[in-house]
Every structure is written in C-alpha cells, then in structure tokens.
Structure 1
C-alpha cells in the first residue's frame, strides 16, 4: 500500500528482502484505500502486502521470511541489547571526551556518569511505563509511589554532576542513596523472593530481565558515590 498518507513499511521490507535474495520483483502498488480493500476481498486476506512467487501466494512479510528460511523479526534475539547498547555508547563517549588522559579515576567516573545520563533518558522518555515496572520491585517506590517519578531525575542529576567539577558533597549522597535502595531492591526481588521480573533500568517497555546486570548497575552507582565522597572528605 502506497498512498499520499501511508506507505506500508512491511511492503518495503518485503521488496528489499526479495531483491537481496536475488528475486526480480514486480511491485504492484495499491494507491488508495479502495484498491486495498478490493485486493483484500479478491484474495481473501486481512493484511497487505501479499507476496506471490511464481504465482504461488506466500502471504505477508512474516510468511515470506518463513518461506525463505529467515527467523522472525519479532523474535527476541538479545533481550540484553538495550543495556549493552547504552553502556557501549557511554564507553565511546568516555573515550571521545577523556582520550588521551591516563587518569583512570576520570575514565571510570565519566563512564558511570554518561551511563547514568543515558539510562535516565530512557526512563524519562516514557515515565509512566517506567514507573509501572519500577514500583513492582523497588522497596521504596512500593511504599511511596512518587519516588518512582523522582528517581530518573535524581539519576540524571547525579550523572551530570559526576561529569562536572562540582564537589562530591553535592551529588555523592544522592548516588549513594538511590544506588543503595536499588541494590537492596534488586537483591531482595531476585535472590531472596525469587521473582522473575522485567528491569526498569532502561525504561518499562523492554524485556530486559531483572537480575545480575541490574544489581551491578546499582552497585556501580553506589560505589562511585562512596568513592567520590571519601575523596572529598579526605581532602577537606
């Protein structure tokens, strides 16, 4: 279907897949809703596109993938990819901003700071979805729901401050607080209560399981806050 108001993404995907597989494609566009409805009625189908190979009706895009021996695009290939991608980007940005410095502390703090910023953005972009997931395991948010709405902004604040020259006293206590509560909550939910939950660390609309990575994230935040606070106090 290709009209002035709608271009079918699965039609484009099907055409691309067929061409990459070496097929010569006769792309017959449906240029109006009326043409589309007539086509569906004629072929007794509910959706478009419909692919035909040598006059054999294959079906839609998913059916085409199956026919060609391709895995379903809906299959979850790596549920951890949202977390991995964030940490990878944080590492690259750290490299871009800290190279060629050889100060290990600056590298570690920058990486944690950038990671917190990116994780906070994922939560803030759909705060309702995040809180729906977060309140199912965070021990403080369960009792005080408003904390779930504040949490991403505390994480954002702490992450920004870690990347500045501000004294640690301005942000370390916050990082320690949310990191400690988070670590306790994840440990309780996963290792004590044995609950199988989705992690809200990258927002509430992913399939990232709550577990070791979530615990590590909170422990890293807690550790960074403690480390910076100790350095601040010893210099004072």
Structure 2
C-alpha cells in the first residue's frame, strides 16, 4: 500500500474526478479530501499517476519518506539499582556478624565475623562458575592476567580465609594473608578504575553484572584496612 499527496482538490467533486482518472491506471485506488491523498493498494509509480492527471489542475507528489520514530534508549539503571545485590549482601553479613554475638557486641569480634562472612559468601558466588570468574578476573587483576591459574585458585583462597576467620584460626597469619591478597587485588582494581575501562567486576563471580567502579576499590581497600587494624590491635 502506497499513499500519495494530491494537490488541487477543494471539494467532493474534485475527489470524484481524481478518483475516476486514477482508477484507470491504479485499480482500487482510494482518494480522500482530508487530508488530500490517494492510497494505492500495492506499489505504484508516481509518474504513471501524474500522467493520468495530465491536463487537469490536479497533481500528485511522491510519498514522503517517513522516518520511523526513534526508539528511546533504555534508561541506565540508577546507582542503587546497579549495586543493590552487593549492598544487600554486605548488609546481611554485617547484621549476622552482630547477631551471632548476642547481647555482647564487640567491635573486633564484629569485624572478624564480618570478614568471615565476606569471604565465605563472596567465594560461594565465585565457585558457582570458576572458569567464568577466572576469565573476568584476568581482565583487571595483575597476577591473574599473567598467570591464569591464579584466577582458578583465588576462590578457594577466599574460602579458606573465610573458614579461618570463622574458626579464629591463627589470626596473625590469617590477617597477614588477607592484607597481601586483598592489597594486591586492590592495585589491579584501582588501575582499571583510573583507566576508566568498562569491564565487569568479578567480586560476586559472574552471577551479577556489576561494573568496575570506586565501589570495588572501597570493597578491597576496606578489607585491607580491617586486616591491618586486626594486626595492629
């Protein structure tokens, strides 16, 4: 179906005269006054229609190319919507860290339980798909980029640290390992953020699509500071 604009029509009589002329070359054509146009079922040549109206004061113009309305781009999710899974997990871990202590909530114990929960929960998401995590982790971690097996080992290191914190096993060594591991990881994260690389954060494995940002820096540096505080105190 093709629609053409008709010029020169002013009344119903004009519509009938144009209809009769165009019917000869375009059977089934429908002509109307408001708006002044002719609709031809199927393809039609504007020159043929103009020839049919030759000798009259009516004219036919080629159909205008109508641009399809632009499809609005999907709105970018808000900061809270993007990091909601991470914030919820951290809130759950913090709440559980205080609840397990009962009425006697102690700052250092809360920190130890929080670090235990952090490593246990975050290693769980990484262990769901270790190869996919290793690929994502190699995108920004300095060691995983140069030595691929580190990306496969790292989730188990986090799991071991989580168990060690929960059992309060060798606190000196546990905090020292955390300081080194998370500190080295933070270097790669900071580099990726400063370079403004649009890569995925692998902190929760590949289950959630979290972008690399200052939130990831705070996460890694926060664990480094807590491990350092535990060693200092």
The answer to whether the 8 Å contact 2:108/2:230 transfers is: no
Work out which of the residue numbers 207, 217, 222 in structure 1 matches 2:224. Answer: 222
Deviation at 1:229, TM superposition (A): 2.5
Quote the offset at 1:218 in angstroms. 0.9
CA contact (8 A) 2:98 2:105 kept: no
Q: TM-score, normalised by structure 2?
A: 0.62
Q: Contact between 1:154 and 1:174, CA under 8 Å: does it hold in 2?
A: no
What do residues 135-179 of structure 1 show as CA deviations (whole Å, max 9, x unaligned)? 001011000111111111111111221222323233122201211
Question: 2:176 matched to 1:173?
Answer: yes
Counterpart CA distance in 1 for 2:222 and 2:143 is 19
CA RMSD of aligned residues (A): 1.9
- Tell me the matched-pair count: 157
2:143 maps to 1:128: no
Q: Name stretches of at least 5 consecutive residues in structure 1 with no aligned partner.
A: 1-71, 232-236
Runs of 4+ in 1 over 4 A off after TM superposition: none
Instruction: Tell me the SS of whatever aligns to 2:82.
Output: coil
Q: Deviations over 1:184-208 (max 9, x none)?
A: 11110111x2212110000124221
Query: What residue is the counterpart of 2:146 in the other structure?
Result: 143
Residue 156 (structure 2) pairs with residue 153 (structure 1): yes
Q: How do 1:13-32 and structure 2 match up within 5 A?
A: none
1:90 correspondence with 2:93: yes
Q: Which among 99, 102, 110 is matched to residue 99 of structure 1? A: 102
Are 2:193 and 2:213, in contact at CA under 8 Å, matched by a contact in 1?
yes
Bigger fraction of residues in strand: 2
Specify every segment of 5 or more residues in structure 2 that has no aligned partner in the other structure, as ranges: 1-73
* TM-score, normalising length: structure 1: 0.61
| Structure 1 SS opposite 2:210 | coil
